[in-house]
Amino acid sequence: MGWDNGRVSLGIYISVPFCRTKCSYCNFASDVFSRALFERYVDRVCGEVARAPQVAAAMGGQIERKVDSIYLGGGTPTVLECGQLRRMFAAVRRQFDVQANVEITVECAPGTLTPEMLDALLNCGVNRVSLGVQAFVDGEAAAVGRLHKRASVLDDITRLRAGGIMNINLDLIAGLPHQTAESWRISLDETLATAVPHVSVYMLEVDDDSRLGRELIAGGTRYHAHFVPDEEAVADFYVTACETLEAAGVAQYEISNFARAGFESRHNLKYWTRHPYLGFGVDAHSMLFSAAPGAVAVRFSNTEALEKYVAGLPPESTIVSRATSLEETFFLRLRLNRGIDMRDVVEKFGREAAQGVNGVICELVELGLLRQEGDFIRLTARGRLLSNEVFQAFLAPAGISDQP
């Protein structure tokens, strides 16, 4: 128990860690590298795709050949040469059975979408593009190292639609340096004016994995750190975004994601609903059904060091036990607005496991972080702001054993 091991189509993620510039807030395994590395990297990714069945077997996972979502993220995949992008897509299509209704997403930095690149994306079957806008106020974007301006974003959207790509996502960040309630409203209004069907809203992360985060922790002034709004203001910006987008028909379906009906990200839903996916490239992660007795799934991931990856360092694997599977069910499914159906928990993990989390659920309901409606539990608006605390409460739940 613990996972529906039926035939579920696979998601493919390809990491492209190259950027034109490293944004000060970025905590991903991406950076500015010499273009001489691009070809070696693409060779390695294509080889990894070709060896996917053997690697999955070595990791103890059951691989599915049908693919209904492909996602190129980064970094900025559109800094690659058009031919390099084509090679990676061709490698995937040679190895996997890409379905006719596949969702193919590519992340683009505004201003990198040349006519040649747009043609290449269309030729590769790309039907969804995610633009890393972050802010429609040019000064805020520039303060964190973004190279685009508002006009280039609008131009990209126009050209994408002219090429037939209507499924467009815009990324926004609440809490950028110099951001105010008024300027945040400008970014939201500009976003709605584009009428894109999907918007992602992230609150600025403050940790030591980014230059801006380290400077904030140190109390310094580099990277405009002294102009970053305080936590209360950032939370207010997030709430404003939720209310504004919802009122305009762009409904929240996950903590950070909003969509018009039918435009929810198929690929990201695989992560939150714990469906199988394979990741290729630097710092890419995979999760497959497990072939090992007593295990539910296996996760494996590539190194975040570019040179080690290109040199062929193999992935590291972790077995997902039944107890871990239960934990993941709560802190991934609760990210979704539809929440968790406790009847599914009983079916997959047993009644004892469901009863083992009743105390946690009741406590979180009393604190106003969860609401319970019949068999469903969901985060409240306050719970979304404090989601990490909610998820922490479900670690090591009672009533379930790692034994098969």
CATH number for position 116: 3.20.20.70
Amino acid 140: pLDDT: 93
**Which amino acid does the sequence have at 151?**
A
Q: Quick one: 35 and 128 in the same domain?
A: yes
Q: What's the mean pLDDT when you consider all of the chain?
A: 91
Residue 6 has pLDDT above 60, yes or no: no
Interval 230-240 mean pLDDT: 95
**Domain boundary residue, one of 270, 299, 333:** 270
Specify the pTM: 0.92
85 belongs to a structural domain: yes
Average pLDDT in the 25-54 region?
86
Q: E-assigned strands of 218-345?
A: 251-254, 257-259, 277-280, 285-290, 297-301, 316-320, 340-341
313 within some domain: no
15/29 Cα distance (integer angstroms) = 9
Q: How much is the pLDDT for 93?
A: 98
Reply yes or no on whether the pLDDT at 398 is more than 60.
no
As a whole number, mean pLDDT of residues 33-59 equals: 93
160-204 pLDDT, tens digit each: 999 999 999 999 999 999 999 999 999 999 999 999 999 999 998
Which one has a higher pLDDT value, 44 or 35?
44
Phi and psi of 49, rounded to 5°?
Answer: -60, -45
- Which CATH number covers residue 374? 1.10.10.920
pLDDT of residue 218: 84
Residue among 142, 231, 245, 239 at smallest CA distance from 196: 245
pLDDT score, position 32: 61
Domain boundary among 255, 270, 285: 270
Instruction: State the Cα–Cα distance between residues 264 and 313, nearest whole angstrom.
Output: 35
| Cis peptide bond N-terminal to 73, omega within 30 | no
339 and 225 in one domain?
no
Over range 317-333, report the average pLDDT: 92
Give the C-alpha separation, 290 to 284, whole Å: 19
Q: Helices in 111-222 by DSSP H: which ranges?
A: 115-123, 138-143, 150-162, 181-194, 211-218
Q: Are 249 and 326 contained in the same domain?
A: no
Q: What is the mean pLDDT of residues 4-27?
A: 81
Q: In which band, very low, low, confident or very high, does the pLDDT at 342 lie, cut at 50, 70 and 90?
A: very high
Please, which pLDDT band fits residue 28 given cuts at 50, 70 and 90? low
Question: Does one domain contain both 253 and 343?
Answer: no
- Asked if the structure places residue 385 within a domain, the reply is yes
Same domain, 246 and 380: no
DSSP track, 215-242: HHHHT--GGGGGGSPPHHHHHHHHHHHH
Region 27-51 average pLDDT: 85
* Averaged pLDDT, 231-236: 95
Lowest mean pLDDT among 12-21, 80-89, 270-279: 12-21
The answer to whether residues 212 and 25 touch, using CB atoms and an 8 Å cutoff, is: yes
Q: What is the pLDDT of residue 31?
A: 62
What's the whole-number mean pLDDT along residues 330-350?
95
Rounded to whole angstroms, the Cα distance separating 128 from 264 reads: 11
Q: Does 25 share its domain with 108?
A: yes
Range of the domain at 59: 10-270
Question: Comparing C-alpha atoms, which of 135, 104, 138, 139 is closest to residue 121?
Answer: 104
Position 400 pLDDT exceeds 50: no
Write down the pLDDT at residue 399.
Answer: 44
CA–CA gap between residue 98 and residue 312 (Å, rounded): 26
pLDDT(270) > 50: yes
**Domain endpoint, select from 232, 249, 270:** 270
171 and 250 share a domain? yes
pLDDT over 70 at 340, yes or no? yes
| Average pLDDT rounded to a whole number, residues 282-303 | 90
pLDDT classification of 295: cutoffs 50, 70, 90: confident
**Is residue 212 located within the same domain as residue 353?**
no
Residues 256 and 351 reside in one and the same domain? no
Provide the pLDDT for residue 8. 85
As a whole-number percent, the residues of the chain with pLDDT over 70 amount to 94
In a domain, 281, yes or no: no
92-101 residue pLDDT tens: 999 999 999 9
144 and 257 part of one domain:
yes
**Quick check: is 304 in a domain?**
no
- Is residue 310 domain-resident? no
Within this chain, do residues 17 and 102 fall inside the same structural domain, yes or no?
Answer: yes
Note whether 239 and 338 are same-domain residues: no
CA distances from 252 to 105, 181, 201, 214, 310 (A): 20, 20, 10, 31, 39
pLDDT digits (tens, 9 = 90+) for 250-261: 999 999 999 999
Q: Which of 19, 11, 57 is nearest to 35 (CA)?
A: 19
Q: Is residue 206 part of a domain?
A: yes
Q: Are the C-beta atoms of residues 237 and 219 closer than 8 Å to each other?
A: no
293 found inside a domain: no
- The share of the chain scoring above pLDDT 90, in percent, equals 78
CA distance 140 to 190: 14
Query: How many domains does one find in the chain?
Result: 2
What gap in Å lies between CA 227 and CA 143, rounded to an integer?
10
